[in-house]
Structure 1
């Protein structure tokens, strides 16, 4: 695409610009060393700036009709890289970094330049020696695309010429291939029935959520206008090896484990909140009773990637040629509504068992693909305002967003510096809580984005998620599911 040509924005990009749905990504990256700003800019120019979306203006052709396009332009890195002069011996660097990130969620990006910027904080905190925050308009691409792009800009620490490795999706085993014809036919018919039934159920639930089905008004359920409020961002880091230990012991997936941990952590957090609320209200709680409200409807909107994972080599080629490859970029995601059971379990492993049952059912459903198709059709027929209204209805009537993204298997060097962690999050949508899980080498980062009006103590929520995982791990060890474990 030449500098003068314009390319129409994709349906997903148009949707991200609708009123009340101005989504922005905040990707926090901690580094093992201080950032050499000049080297960092040089690496950006060599890689990211060559990507067509990062070197294009988002042009408003007709805001009323929701028509936008991309126009290539020359990137001035001085306008995109912000590196404030900081005191390296400041009293509380962790609080400073958190407040700085929160401040970035107060405003949208300037559309007179390509809609991204990066902030360099050369100050040591508890998890890293420096921090970089990418602020990216969601119109540029979805989370999976952007994480893959960052990986394509990276190199392995031991081998600066090699791209990092992202674990491939495991192929499903056919457990009935050696069984008789009748049994295989029965399994096929039954599987098809479950897919049809689950898809219909999910579509009905999705439609009902848009129209009238709301979550219970709990203390963490955000009210109107929450998309305009700044968010507080905190993170916790746990061992990915320990997560895999639980996964292997219970014969589940990592998705099952992190969903179970989320349910357990939220149950623990809400129990404490309602317990304190009852005490402050002078209510007497009998020993052994549960302060949680009964029959809670609490659901998560889970963003599901519908695009096959791109090869890092292809993304690297995309930047080298400065041209988008067909089908490899954009916002191609579906929304899955996950019901969460908020209850204190006597056996912590029940959280994992229930999470597995939920995820197994969602795997046998095409509801997310149908939802994406319907949203795309509505966007084409009625414009981005109506389509955005439908999308925001899903988020507004659920309580939180949950996601789990796979990162590189080994430690990497990104933009000329060794990476310590990645903690992505978002803002600009009508929910008060988002929980992202991001794997990196032997770590799993829990990134929490919270509206402090409904979650005034997001650090406590982070601690409750970590404590819940520890309880689950200890329950696995005590159960004897794995003998001779290195974590015993």
Structure 2
């Protein structure tokens, strides 16, 4: 099968000459202090045929961006650069061998242990910063899986997921591009934005929010540390500890029902669900830690676009190429406290509070001021000091929540139907990371948790309980 994806690439004779400065964020994420990667898992309906893997990577994946064929080199006073090298694709592909004839439960455990193993192993700096693992064994979720591990220095979740999706096609019609949910603002919202009367109080409150949020962000990134709780060990070097990665699936239609009842966004509902479930887990594990000080870093895409374009546009379009890289910010959001009756009577109140917190944070320029602060630190103290600042920001908080928009249609990879997909950010100095991705009519929530601290089964039960409470309350209140 020939995959018809046209991409721009560097000419072969220019390979040795191609060099691009590494972005400041790319340097932060690949430093002596931080080395963060993204693991993306594609699940397949049928047993895997990997006969076309080398061709697929050579002809489709590598041409997407020169960084996939480059290593990071230090050019002294010029700083770090991406240098184009010859790629030996076979060195980047691993096909592990598990014991034969095991039950799905045993393969689930082997698969989880394998993910934890590759999460902890650093990517080699002597070759391009990515690798592929082809798992030919079944699990409870799939007949086989392909795991991509890509260094965060290559780009953020938006860039990397766009690259991976460029290797896939629509199952119903491969000649058509994959499409993504539309996030254009409504005409009503545009009218309100244009109204000077509505802008004045918004600007004043935004200025106040900016002052408060930026000040608190600096404190959180310096010495104001979250409490040690059932979701935060506070151990030094926690990013090097083994992790569990487990997932759960929710109906987008049901989430939309909750959304419409609360006049909120899908992100508000899902984040509220995660916060409520996390508080339920904390109280179920240790009553004294029920409302301990806990902060989440909620990641935001700072690109000047509302969502994904089609895959071909993302790869070919010059504007989309400019949008490549690490372009995100984060909001410090305190987990709302769990009142006595929240886990029995009024979960929607909890979600409403989460929505209002995030809405207030968004009406603030603290994210951009933080970016300016990081640039100031980089300029006068260097990228390593900036990486240390980011490391402390992560370490002092309790969890990170990140989400990515997935395609509406069912996908295939080399004619093999994709049943599901999710991702996880690894080597982060936190005990808990939650990622969210949509695919077709479902939402996949993945949880990366420190082994020995967080019980993944109990945590999943608490998140699912939070969702059930929210949905039942939303249906009853209509």
* TM-score w.r.t. length of structure 1: 0.88
Aligned length: 454
Tell me the residue number matched to 1:410: 409
Aligned to 2:350: 351
**Alpha-carbon shift at residue 326 of structure 1 (Å):** 4.9
2:217 match? 206
CA contact (8 A) 1:263 1:342 kept: no
Give the Cα–Cα distance (whole angstroms) in 2 for the partners of residues 439 and 300 of structure 1.
21
Structure 1 177/342 Cα, relative in aligned 2: closer, same or farther at 3 Å? closer
Which ranges in structure 1 are unaligned for 5 or more consecutive residues? 275-290, 482-488
Q: Pick the aligned partner of 1:117 from 92, 117, 131.
A: 131
**For residue 273 of structure 1, what is the aligned residue in structure 2?**
285
Displacement after TM superposition at 1:88 (Å): 5.5
**1:53-108 Cα shifts (integer Å, max 9, x gaps):** 1111222335xx89321111222221111112445632311111111101112210
Distance 1:325 1:437, change over 3 A: closer
The answer to whether the 8 Å contact 1:17/1:139 transfers is yes
1-structure distance, mates of 2:390, 2:97 = 41
Q: Could you tell me whether the CA contact under 8 Å between 2:44 and 2:143 is conserved in 1?
A: yes
Say if 1:306 and 1:369, in contact at 8 Å, map to a contact too. Answer: no
Distance 2:268 2:314 in 1: 29
**1:432 corresponds to:** 431
Mapped contact 1:14–1:384 kept (Cα < 8 A): yes
* Residue of structure 2 in register with 1:95 after alignment: 109
**2:50 — aligned with what?**
37
> Displacement of 1:175 after TM fit?
5.8
C-alpha spacing 1:141/1:453, structure 2 compared with 1 (3 Å):
same
TM norm structure 2: 0.90
CA distance in structure 2 between the partners assigned to 1:87 and 1:116 by the alignment: 26
Q: Distance in 1 between matches of 2:74 and 2:100?
A: 42
In the other structure, the counterpart of 2:172 is: 158
In the alignment, structure 1 residue 247 sits paired with structure 2 residue 245: no
Residue 66 to residue 454, structure 1, CA distance change in 2 (3 Å):
farther
Q: Return the match for 1:296 from 292, 296, 300.
A: 292
Contact 1:86 1:121 in 2 (8 A): no
Assess if the C-alpha contact under 8 Å between 2:438 and 2:444 holds in 1.
yes
Aligned to 2:86: 74
Q: Is the 8 A contact 1:260 1:352 kept in 2?
A: yes
- Check the 8 A contact 1:88/1:122 in 2, yes or no: no
Q: Which residue of 2 aligns with 1:327?
A: 322
Query: What is the CA RMSD across the aligned residues, in angstroms?
Result: 2.2
Give the one of 9, 13, 22 matched to 1:9: 22
- Output one character per residue of 1:339-368: Cα deviation in whole Å (capped at 9) or x when no partner: 112415031111221121112112211211
Task: Report what 2:276 is aligned to.
Answer: 264
Match of 1:305 among 286, 301, 306: 301
In structure 1, distance between residues paired with 2:415 and 2:369? 42
* Partners of 1:442 and 1:122 in 2: CA distance: 26
2-structure distance, mates of 1:37, 1:414: 10
